[in-house]
Amino acid sequence: SAVISQKPSRDICQRGTSLTIQCQVDSQVTMMFWYRQQPGQSLTLIATANQGSEATYESGFVIDKFPISRPNLTFSTLTVSNMSPEDSSIYLCSALTGTVYQETQYFGPGTRLLVL
């Protein structure tokens, strides 16, 4: 298993500013992901955070808006850039552990973002 922490847990930001969310895993993991969850909705995958290389983004998400870093196997950051009220959401990071075909995702507690 993996224990994941995120900082900040919540924030209120002004339109046009940027926020960087940190994700720390208590053990080395091969893969980390970032998701967004609108209130009452399911999770949408933003990107895969690749260690030592550029993140892989899902359709509808771009690096300029959501730059991601992953400097090592236990840490990643997601920046929400030039924020607008539509970016208000919960942002979750996850880490993948386990053997092939039995990989399990563990999630951080999430970062609640409100953009005014």
Judged by the rule CB under 8 A, the positions of this chain that interact with another protein are 31, 33, 35, 41-45, 48, 56, 58, 92, 96, 101-110
Beta-carbon neighbour count of residue 43 at 10 Å?
15
Q: How far apart are CA 110 and CA 53, in angstroms?
A: 24
Q: How far apart are CA 112 and CA 99, in angstroms?
A: 31
Among residues 67, 74, 72, the alpha carbon closest in space to that of 95 is found at 74
Q: Which is nearer to another protein, 16 or 26 (CB)?
A: 26
Which amino acid is located at 50 in the chain? N
**Shortest spacing between CB 16 and another protein, in angstroms:** 28
Least distance to another protein, CB of residue 57, Å:
11
Which residue lies nearer to another protein by CB, 77 or 110?
110
Output the smallest distance, CB 41 to another protein, in A: 8
